[in-house]
Every structure is written in structure tokens, then in C-alpha cells.
């Protein structure tokens, strides 16, 4: 039972994390891959006004994702026992290390 709860908790956070890291094949992934508005501007020949609007959109997107992530983290912490929480933190750390290799 504890493993099921841990798995479900981790599974709930991974989609949020996936939005916070580079995606694959999505238009918004341009921004996350370090291309940002500068590269999009060149590729799409954006005007200064369009560039500014996209910067605002990407900024709002980051803020919303961060807020959702924090909300999810707090909710998950209320569900897990102390032992499960410690193991969950280890799993998240391991996942982060694997992602940066």
C-alpha cells in the first residue's frame, strides 16, 4: 500500500515537472531549450511588439507552472507519512540527477 501511495504521489508531480523542463516536439519547448524569444524572432521574423508579447506569455507561463508545482508539493506532503516523504524526496533527487546527466 505504501508503495502505491508513493508511486501515485511521484506520478502526480512528474507531469508538473515535465512542463518545467524542456519538452520534445512542442512549440513551447523552443523557449525551454534555450532558444527563447531571440531565436523565435529570427525564425518567425517577429516584430518588437510580438517579441515583447511572447516574453510576457512565457513569463506568465513560468509563474503559473511554478505556482502549480508548489501547490502540488504542499498537497502531496499532507498525504505522505514521514517515512514516505523522506523516500519521495530521495526519488525526486535521483530523478533530477538522472535528468541532468
Q: pLDDT tens for the chain, 101 residues: list them.
A: 555 555 555 555 554 444 444 443 444 455 555 568 888 889 999 999 999 999 999 999 999 999 999 999 999 999 999 999 999 999 989 888 887 77
Q: Is the pTM of this model over 0.75?
A: no
Q: Per-domain residue ranges for the chain?
A: 2-99
Please report, for residues 37, 38, 39, 47, 53, the alpha-carbon distance to residue 96 in angstroms, rounded to integers and kept in the order given: 26, 28, 27, 37, 31
Residue 21 pLDDT: 42
Retrieve residue 14's grid coordinates: 512528474
CA distance 63 to 101: 26
Q: What is the pLDDT of residue 1?
A: 54
Amino acid at each position: 500500500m505504501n508503495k502505491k501511495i508513493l508511486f501515485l504521489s511521484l506520478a502526480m508531480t512528474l507531469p508538473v515537472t515535465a512542463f518545467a523542463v524542456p519538452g520534445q516536439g512542442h512549440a513551447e519547448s523552443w523557449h525551454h531549450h534555450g532558444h527563447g524569444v531571440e531565436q523565435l524572432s529570427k525564425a518567425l521574423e517577429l516584430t518588437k511588439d510580438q517579441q515583447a508579447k511572447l516574453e510576457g506569455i512565457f513569463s506568465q507561463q513560468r509563474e503559473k507552472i511554478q505556482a502549480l508545482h508548489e501547490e502540488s508539493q504542499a498537497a502531496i506532503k499532507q498525504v505522505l507519512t514521514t517515512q514516505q516523504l523522506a523516500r519521495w524526496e530521495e526519488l525526486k533527487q535521483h530523478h533530477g540527477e538522472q535528468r541532468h546527466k
